[in-house]
Structure 1
Amino acid sequence: MKDELSINIYLDETDTPFSRYYSPDDVHLSSDLEDFLLSKLHSGKRKDIEISFFGQNDFDEKSLKTATFNTFSNLLEEEEYTYARNVKKTIVLFVIGIIVGVIYLKLSSNHAYIGGVLSIVCWVFIWSGTEVYFFENQQIKQTIRKCKNILNANVRKK
């Protein structure tokens, strides 16, 4: 059984789904509409999504599709960059933590006070790397999945 989701967006005559700060050649969805679409995808694991725009306005389907694609492809690119940067940051934090831990082991027998401080510093670096990798990156991966699903969505004007 396929997971399907239908997102209906109702626009009044005065509403505009487009962001005001982009040129007509490079249309994007408004930030409110972007947040609304992301909020409708709770887990990010949906497969078939249909986004329908309703209302008494003169927006054409092509510009709505283009704006949706532009908005979420840019967001996807930003999130993938952040994810890659966080992985590198995690590796650096782990390596620094291990190096400080090795220094701690060498100094712990001769200099107990410095060894104690280095022990704390070691665990701070290791925990920081763990936090970035397991907590921050989980949210980023979920946003990446949501963006990919929206990019594959069927956008219609009804």
Structure 2
Amino acid sequence: MKDELNIYLDETDTPFSRYYSLDDVHLSSDLEDFILSKQHSGRRKEVEIFFLGQNNFDEKTLQAATHNTFSNILKEEKYTYARNVKKAIVLFVLGIIVGMVFLKFSTTHAYIAGVLSIVCWVFIWAGTEVYFFDNQQIKQKIRKCRNILNANVRKK
């Protein structure tokens, strides 16, 4: 499946971020958000990005800016994903530890055991939410960035 993205730039538009050097060009944040939003799903597919319009930007600079921008996003999202996995494991383990303490106090101290039961489930569900729900969005963004990094970026 091929996905084409046409980006029209007139002579007053600048696709580049203002705060990067000429050696390390990046796309503007608006253009970055636009390109990500046009990737409807994270499924693997061939993407072609065309820059159209009356501008004098060269194709190599546009390709470099696209690659630099989305490789940085990919790196950040991979780091966040790994951090969330560690966070989910820690929360789950804490939930199990609190659950074991709950079992110890359940026969002698009913009030403390009741509070520990709630705390146990909070830790377990927090870890589950991070792992299954938060990371799902991050994985989708990682797939989108990989598709864009493999895209053919051209100027028409």
Q: What amino acid is the match of 2:24?
A: D
How far apart are the structure 2 equivalents of 1:102 and 1:37? 49
**What does 1:78-93 correspond to in 2, within 5 Å?**
78-93=76-91
Answer yes or no: is the 8 Å Cα contact 1:93–1:129 preserved in 2: yes
1:29 aligned residue: 27
Identity %: 78
2:55 aligned residue: 57
1:155 aligned residue: 153
1:103 aligned residue: 101
2:36 aligned residue: 38
Cα deviation 1:25-71 (Å, max 9, x = unaligned): 10000001100110111111141100000011110000000000000
Unaligned runs of 5+ in 1: none
Unaligned runs of 5+ in 2: none
How far apart are the structure 1 equivalents of 2:115 and 2:39? 45
2:10 aligned residue: 12
RMSD, matched Cα:
0.5
TM-score (ref. length: structure 2): 0.99
Answer yes or no: is the 8 Å Cα contact 1:4–1:47 preserved in 2: yes
TM-score (ref. length: structure 1): 0.98
